[in-house]
Amino acid sequence: MSAIEVSGLRKAYGGVTAVDGVDLDVAAGEVFALLGPNGAGKSTTVEVLEGHRKRDSGEVRVLGRDPGKPSGDWRARIGVVLQATSDAAELTVREAVAHFAGYYPNPRDADAVIDLVGLTEKAGARAGKLSGGQRRRLDVALGIVGRPELLFLDEPTTGFDPEARRQFWRLIRLLADEGTTILLTTHYLDEAEALADRVAVIARGRIVAEGTPSTLGGRATAEATVRWRGADGPQVRRTPDPQRLIVELARHEELAELTVSRPTLEDVYLDLIGERA
């Protein structure tokens, strides 16, 4: 069963095409990462799915409904964490979360949500006085307080320190374990690799690759780089079958400092978007 179904999505601004025939299918309960450089059409695609922007053409279904015709009950089933927000600045963290909880038919307990995002010590602080990373945690709290079936996360860990990012990852895994479908956009490729069941890369308004993080762009079958130190010093060999190469080399020499590596997700991503140096 699909939580998101997109076929032939197109959107232009004047004479500039931002989204040019995007197709997507996100399964219910899946964590799906949409990656792409700035200006690739990523934000426009997500805004259409959230019901915040009208499309020019294409078929779109989100939780079985057309997001271009949103209803109150449909909006109550989704959560959105925008890239930047400035609302509720005069409310305390607890007041903001409790206020937003009132918009939903079956919200989470406000204090439990505050604890989940690591803001318990700041529960009485005004939102406008929070640091950037703390404000981002509050944004996440407001996005999940309604127990959404589908959660949109737009660059959710911007401003987080490494420890806060890992805490956030644990929260996302918890939500996924509960059955929440999550559509994540991020510039942190390690985040996509750690969290996503599948990844799609968008460039110039089109999806250029889709798959699991380990197989995206042929990553799993790409040539491996084998490095070792032999009798003649450091050696490097590229091969589609590193195991066979190592067995053959080991018959003739000692392989010190042996390493085998395949392209990283970053390597594949940069090739896909055409920004390989």
pLDDT of residue 84: 66
Q: Which residue has the tokens 């190469």?
A: 245
Nearest to 65 by CA among 56, 74, 73, 53: 74
Domain 2-217 class, CATH top level: alpha beta
Q: How far apart are CA 78 and CA 143, in angstroms?
A: 8
In terms of C-beta density within 10 A (0-12 exposed, 13-18 middle, 19 or more buried), how is residue 41 classed? Answer: buried
Q: How far apart are CA 66 and CA 88, in angstroms?
A: 29
Q: How far apart are CA 10 and CA 58, in angstroms?
A: 6
Give the global pTM: 0.85
pLDDT of residue 86: 61
Summarised one tens digit per residue, pLDDT across range 123-133 is 999 999 998 88
Summarised one tens digit per residue, pLDDT across range 231-242 is 888 999 989 888
Average pLDDT, the chain: 91
Summarised one tens digit per residue, pLDDT across range 97-108 is 999 999 999 999
pLDDT of residue 157: 86
Q: How far apart are CA 182 and CA 155, in angstroms?
A: 13
**Burial code of 162-183, b = ≥16 C-beta within 10 A, e = fewer?**
eebbebbeebbeebbeeebbbb
Q: Where along the chain do its domains lie?
A: 2-217, 223-261
pLDDT of residue 276: 46
User: Is the Cβ–Cβ distance between 182 and 32 less than 8 Å?
Assistant: yes
Summarised one tens digit per residue, pLDDT across range 154-207 is 988 877 888 888 888 999 999 999 999 999 999 899 999 999 999 999 999 999
* Cα-only R_g, the chain: 22
Other Cβ atoms closer than 10 A to 188: 18
Q: Can you tell me the mean pLDDT for 118-146?
A: 91
